[in-house]
Chains A and B, each alone.
Chain A
Amino acid sequence: MNDDQIGELLREMRDDPVPADSLARVRQAVAARTSGRGARRGFGMFWKLALPVAFAGFIAVVLLRPPGKHIAVPAPVHTVAAVEEPTPVLPPSSPVPKSHAAATVRTARHVRPKPASAPQAVGASLIRIETSDPGVVILLLADKESKL
């Protein structure tokens, strides 16, 4: 069999009939699947459109919502008791325990005001000078070194 004969056979094969039942099966299967696919595509298209629309609606509702009435909630007032008296300076010799220094939370130290009392001059001398005016009295306070 030479090239011409092979070529002639091949060309002849082009006109060979295709089985009618095969064609019918293909047609039927394609029709069935394209109709089903069309329905599924419609369903898919619904969701493709519905989801963005729903999201856009949600955003619009959030952005265009009228401002609501705000209920004023009283903020907790932290009052700090004013200490009129100067904070007494701790003596330098007072040791600070390390455990206290490491503590993160410390309670406020409330200083009780001392009861008013007459100035006490330890080791000082008081000189009282009465004048002719009974309403005027001169008080002189001197320390140990007699300095006024």
Chain B
Amino acid sequence: MLEAALMTAEVSIERSDSFGQVLREREAQVMRTAFRILGNWADAEDVAQEVFLRLHRYGLRFANDAALGAWIYRVTVNLCIDRSRTAKPAAEMPDAASGEISAEAALIRDQQKERLMSALASLPVRERTALVLREIEQLSTAEVAAALGTTEGTVRSQVMKAMAKLRRILGGGKL
């Protein structure tokens, strides 16, 4: 117990001046998650700012990177859910993917992603969040449950419901 506390204190001291480094390492993760949940970059920027301001206020008192990541996901998700209650998500066109594939294939892929984003935006926010964290951010079910403050069973149920709705929305026409 004492060793764990000492290790935590050590990590805190080591990271006391590395807030900027954490910001640079995690900003893309926060922005991407917020964008997938909220559907537009402007709201994602606001959420990202608030997440890092809270992190600065809270301090880097984490035992390891996993704890830091879990905390960031949890705060991001909570802020996104709060914001989505007041603002209706508006799906924006995602940026162009890598240039290795042909322009035509890239265009088709972008159209598919656009439709997928629109379908995501139509899901209930908790199902959408569970799907984003589980399928896009590739978190484990336990990690998603921790971020959402719910049980793993609930997360599995939400992901299954979300996938079924996406299938129903996107399966109607040929992409």
Contact = CB atoms under 8 A, between A and B. Distances in A.
Interface in A88-102: none
Interface string B37-52: 0000100110011001
A2 B135 contact: no
A112 B112 CA distance: 124
Contacts of A2: 167, 171
A14 B116 contact: no
Interface stretch (A22-30, A57-65, A128-136): A22-30
B96 to A, nearest CB: 8
Interface stretch (A5-13, A46-54, A118-126, A138-146): A5-13
A1 B167 contact: yes
A11 B56 CA distance: 30
Given A23-B28, A26-B48, A27-B24, 11 more contacts: A1-B112, A9-B116, A11-B135, A13-B136, A16-B32, A26-B31, A29-B45, A29-B49, A30-B52, A34-B53, A37-B57
Task: Output the residue of A2, A26, A27 with the most chain B CB within 10 A.
Answer: A26
Contacts, number: 85
Main secondary structure of the interface of A (DSSP, over half): helix
13 contacts: A6-B166, A12-B113, A13-B94, A16-B95, A23-B28, A25-B45, A26-B27, A26-B45, A30-B23, A30-B52, A31-B20, A34-B53, A37-B57
Nearest to A23: B27
Main secondary structure of the interface of B (DSSP, over half): helix
Interface of B: 19-20, 23-24, 27-28, 31-32, 35-36, 41, 44-45, 48-49, 52-53, 56-57, 94-95, 97-98, 109, 112-113, 116, 131, 135-138, 163, 166-167, 170-171, 175
B167 A18 contact: no
Given A6-B116, A23-B28, A27-B23, A33 B53 contact: yes
A25 B35 CA distance: 15
A9 B113 contact: yes
Given A1-B171, A6-B163, A17-B95, A34 B56 contact: yes
Contacts of A29: 45, 49
Contacts of B94: 13, 16
A46 B166 CA distance: 55
A30 B56 contact: yes
